[in-house]
Amino acid sequence: MFNPEELKQDFPILSRQINGQSLVYLDNAATSQKPQVVIDAISHYYQTSNANVHRGVHALSDESTKLWETSRATIATFFGANPGELILTRNTTEAINGVAYGWADHHLSASDVILTTPMEHHSDLVVWQQVCQRTGAELRFLEVDETGRLKIEQLEEIFAHSDIKLISLGLVSNTLGTRNPVEKIVKIARKLRPEVKILLDGAQAAPHLPLDFHELDCDFFAFSGHKMLGPMGIGGLLVKQDLLESKAFQPWLFGGGMIATVEREKTEFAEDLADRFTAGTPDVASTVGLAAACRYLQQLGMKEVAQHDQELVQYALEKLTQISEVTLIGPVYALPAQPLDRVGSVAFIYQGVHAHDVAQILDSQGVAVRSGHHCTMPLHTQFNWQATVRASFQVYNSQADIDKLVAALAKVKAVFGI
């Protein structure tokens, strides 16, 4: 098992002082910090191998193309997918939009239903609202209970009354931290309606959990590189190979690179899957950087990464429940005979002090957390939360960081004289 305090040394930014204090970075669900190996991989690419891919016969272009292809393979393999199943995007948001334009727009019409949940990030909600406007399909919700868990027992009933064509939900909620029972949902869906398509928003799962695209048995999986130690501007959409090969899933960006032959009036798209979904010059440097991040995580071992996260979540819950002003949101206790279904973060309300004020005082103590609605406004409205404070974790966070969070919260109490 790795030692998070030692890992801190791999992340140059973590040695910064903030407001005269050592930085305690607990805003990882927004974006993670980057290890030196990732930073080096990007600058090394520009220093030694930069050239456009697939476009030249010269040595550098060859080298760049090879780097791009091996990096793509590393990223796909990290998720247990074939390289052909990986479509590189800028982030999760773009990946989800890709499913809207590349699949939903071609296959949905009035009377079809898209099923999602009220805990989705706006990225996995606004996109479907737009698809519904374009296609006439209807959006329905699998509801969430007061403990922050999906009412999965209602799923069969919803299936009985609606023509569900697509289910789209987060594997891990960025606000509640809930690790949703997607395996159960996939199983029920496949049994009741084999043709239903399932999209998993993996933005908050990819950084913390060992994942296997084929085992998850979803059709689409979206993720952001920047939340999993990779650079900003690169993420991906995994699409099941048969949907690509049958052309049920179509390209949604057009232009150079994604073509086989172009005539004046029409175009044949490339048969090669990676090419068909790479319109225009790709961000090779970020792809190389993300591959370096995948290797870094693989070296730690994703099982260990997950275990470390669980220890931090448990420890944070234990400590925070001891503060009487703190009300935690999302799963706090384990379900009978099951481990705690919370991953990556703990969010809470501090009684009597607005989340922004809490975050500001924590910042004055060098502790960086998120405050606000975390891009889940419908969830905040449903539970009548104005705003919440969220501490979220990464491999370099330790129990000592959580102790510092707790100490900084005492400062909130002191300042506000509660």
Ligand X SMILES: Cc1ncc(COP(=O)(O)O)c(C=O)c1O
State in angstroms the smallest separation of the CB of 378 from other proteins: 12
Site string for ligand X, 20-49 (x = CB under 6 A): ---------x--------------------
State in angstroms the smallest separation of the CB of 291 from other proteins: 33
In this structure, the dihedral spanned by the alpha carbons of residues 164, 247, 264 and 282, taken in order and rounded to 10 degrees, is 90
List the structure tokens of 251: 């390209």
| 149 touches ligand X (CB under 6 A) | no
Instruction: For residue 104, give the nearest of 84, 134, 140, 141 by alpha carbon.
Output: 134
Instruction: For residue 396, give the nearest of 205, 228, 233, 171 by alpha carbon.
Output: 228
- Is 375 one of the annotated active-site residues of the chain? yes
Closer to other proteins by CB, 151 or 411: give it. 411
Residue 377 contact, options ligand X, other proteins, none, Cβ 5-8 Å cut-off depending on partner type: other proteins
C-beta separation of 393 from 376 below 8 A: no
C-beta separation of 347 from 388 below 8 A: yes
Report the residue from 33, 49, 64, 92 that binds ligand X according to the rule CB under 6 A: 92
| 224 touches ligand X (CB under 6 A) | yes
State in angstroms the smallest separation of the CB of 417 from other proteins: 7
Residue 364 contact, options other proteins, ligand X, none, Cβ 5-8 Å cut-off depending on partner type: other proteins
Closer to other proteins by CB, 72 or 370: give it. 370
Return the exposure string of 23-62: e unless at least 16 CB atoms fall within 10 Å of the residue's CB, then b. Answer: bbbbbbbebbbbbebbbebbebbeeebebebbeeeeeebe
Give the span between the Cα atoms of 300 and 418, in whole angstroms: 43
- Looking up tokens 């974006």 gives 31
State in angstroms the smallest separation of the CB of 90 from ligand X: 7
| 371 touches ligand X (CB under 6 A) | no
Residues 6+ apart with CB under 8 A from 389: 347, 348, 349, 350, 355, 358, 359, 362, 369, 370, 371
Site residues for other proteins per CB under 8 A = 19, 353-357, 360-361, 363-364, 371-373, 377, 380, 385-387, 415-417
Query: To 10 degrees, what angle do helices 399-416 and 355-364 make?
Result: 110
| 121 touches ligand X (CB under 6 A) | yes
Residues 6+ apart with CB under 8 A from 168: 96, 99, 114, 115, 116, 120, 124, 128, 198, 199, 200, 201
Strands (E), 77-218: 86-89, 113-116, 138-141, 164-170, 197-201
State in angstroms the smallest separation of the CB of 161 from ligand X: 27
Site string for ligand X, 182-211 (x = CB under 6 A): -------------------x-xx-------
Residue 92 contact, options ligand X, other proteins, none, Cβ 5-8 Å cut-off depending on partner type: ligand X
Closer to ligand X by CB, 54 or 226: give it. 226
Alpha helices of 79-212 — where are they, by DSSP H? 92-99, 105-107, 126-135, 155-161, 182-192
List the structure tokens of 241: 């190979």
Catalytic residue, chosen from 132, 218, 294, 375, is: 375
| 309 touches ligand X (CB under 6 A) | no
Closer to other proteins by CB, 316 or 387: give it. 387
Report the residue from 84, 102, 170, 366 that binds ligand X according to the rule CB under 6 A: 170
Residue 24 phi, psi dihedral angles, 5° rounding: -115, 105
Q: Which residues partner with 139 through β-bridges?
A: 114
Q: How many residues bind ligand X (CB under 6 A)?
A: 14
Closer to other proteins by CB, 122 or 193: give it. 122
Residue 111 contact, options ligand X, other proteins, none, Cβ 5-8 Å cut-off depending on partner type: none
Which residues form the interface with ligand X (CB under 6 A)? Answer: 29, 91-93, 121, 123-124, 170, 174, 201, 203-204, 224, 375
Which residues are part of the catalytic machinery? 375
